[in-house]
Amino acid sequence: MTIKQLTSTGAILLFCCISLFGGIASADMIAEGKKVAFDRKKGNCLGCHMIADGQLPGNIGPPLIAMKARYPNKADLRAQIWDATAKNPNTIMPPFGKHRILTEKEVDLITEFIYTL
């Protein structure tokens, strides 16, 4: 590949990442993600996971801590939230995106929040 082709490829990848995740998460996006994650009628992450500041957390799933270390690639974390059954067909975690429990935007917001933990 030429330098021009590599530069074009890099620009396309950067554009795709920004499009997928909306760039760098703002404090408002993170706060909105926390709201959806803690909402018992939406994400309900607290139904199964211990999360800092969460009330009445469950213990079925692992505590959501050190997420950047556990998921260095944020896209992998999003994929897990979207459809945990893709990696583990026996998981009890609902496929939030695949089954349309959450919208694309809600999955993105939760991903941004969880990634800060």
CATH code for the domain of 84: 1.10.760.10
Domain membership flag for residue 5: no
Q: Which helix (H) or strand (E) holds 29?
A: helix 27-38
Given CA atoms 57, 61, 62, 65 in this order, what sign does their dihedral have? negative
Domain membership flag for residue 52: yes
Domain membership flag for residue 8: no
Which pLDDT value is given to residue 108? Answer: 97
Which pLDDT value is given to residue 106? Answer: 97
Which pLDDT value is given to residue 43? Answer: 87
Q: Secondary structure of the chain: what % helix, strand, coil (to 5)?
A: 55, 0, 45
Which pLDDT value is given to residue 24? Answer: 74
Domain membership flag for residue 84: yes
List of the chain residues with pLDDT < 70: 1-23
Domain membership flag for residue 62: yes
Length of the chain counted residue by residue = 117
DSSP 79-116: HHHH-GGGT-TT--S--TTTTTSS-HHHHHHHHHHHHT
Number of domains in the chain: 1
CA 45 to each of CA 23, 32, 71, 84: distance values in angstroms, whole numbers, following the listed order: 24, 14, 17, 13
Which pLDDT value is given to residue 6? Answer: 47
Which pLDDT value is given to residue 23? Answer: 60
> What is the pTM assigned to this prediction?
0.77
Domain membership flag for residue 13: no
Range of the structural domain that residue 66 is part of? 25-115
